[in-house]
Amino acid sequence: MAGREECAANYLVERERYRFHVMEVVAAGRGRLRLDGGRTHPIGPGSVYAYAPDMACRIESDAAQPLQKFFFALAGKQAAARLAEARLPAGTVRRIGAPAEVVSLAENIIHEGQRQGPHVLSICVKLLEVMLLKIHEGTGGRVRGNQRARENFLRCRAILEAHATEMRTLEQAAAMAGMDAASMCRLFRRFQGTSPYQYLLRRKMALAAEDMMESGCMVKEAAARVGFADPYHFTRCFKTIHGVPPTELRRYRSNGSID
């Protein structure tokens, strides 16, 4: 199991045991964590921790800065060993030096897990393997120069990916990232080779295409779900990005070919 939690101000989890091995990644906010009756750790963005089924756990969110975090409940004989390989054995609390890439992978796992299809589980497992490698790579050490700039870029990109459906303007994205729009544009030009608006537009069109292929929804419904009030404007953007109008994609879903 996996999920993304935007915790309430009074969020508190306190339990003596749980069915699975669990790994959690904090994306934003502040809180406190105590594992197996040990000392209380402050947790915040970049904190990662794991606990075993027989391990007591207490997680409390800061009321002023509620936690936003991902959880991954792992089953199977290899769960404990794989966490240990990632330098995250049960009972461990660590801080990732550059967490945005891990957060982006976590978002992708949640997104892929909500899809339908025969390969969903395999895709999620592969993404989880990559995330564990990134956690291993990211624990310990200092973030410097170019790495810090890349980390800021990855954090901005993760925000666009996570909030693509409701995001309307570059200013909204920049405010969520805690920077000005010009700085965000420079980061995207440097590391992505495009503007944040173009990246956001491609993300919206990818989500819309996915929605139409999987659910068979109408074009105006797909447009509304990614924040387009005008279906005609949506159709123009969709064709610019994908090379075909959305009606052709729906026809492909029906007969398996695009004319």
CATH number at 235 reads: 1.10.10.60
**Under 8 Å between Cβ of 75 and 34:** no
Q: Is residue 50 part of a domain?
A: yes
Query: Which residues share a beta bridge with 71?
Result: 3, 24
Cα dist from 33 to 60, 61, 160, whole Å? 7, 9, 29
For the residues of 93-118, what is the DSSP string, one character each? EEEBSS-HHHHHHHHHHHHHHTS-ST
Q: Is residue 165 part of a domain?
A: no
- Whole-number Å distance between alpha carbons of 107 and 203: 13
Q: Taking the complete model, does pTM exceed 0.85, yes or no? A: no
Q: Is residue 176 part of a domain?
A: no
- Domain of residue 88: give its range: 2-96+103-140
Are residue 11 and residue 134 in the same domain, yes or no? yes
Q: Is residue 248 part of a domain?
A: yes
pLDDT in tens, the chain (259 residues): 899 999 999 999 999 999 999 999 998 899 999 999 889 999 998 899 999 999 999 999 999 999 999 999 999 889 999 999 988 999 999 988 778 788 888 988 998 888 888 899 999 999 999 999 988 887 654 545 577 788 888 888 888 888 899 888 889 888 988 889 999 999 998 888 889 999 999 999 999 998 888 888 899 999 999 999 999 999 999 999 988 899 888 777 666 554 4
Q: What is the count of structural domains for the chain?
A: 2
Are residue 11 and residue 124 in the same domain, yes or no? yes
CATH number at 49 reads: 2.60.120.280
Are residue 40 and residue 130 in the same domain, yes or no? yes
Q: Is residue 35 part of a domain?
A: yes
Q: Is residue 7 part of a domain?
A: yes
Q: Is residue 85 part of a domain?
A: yes
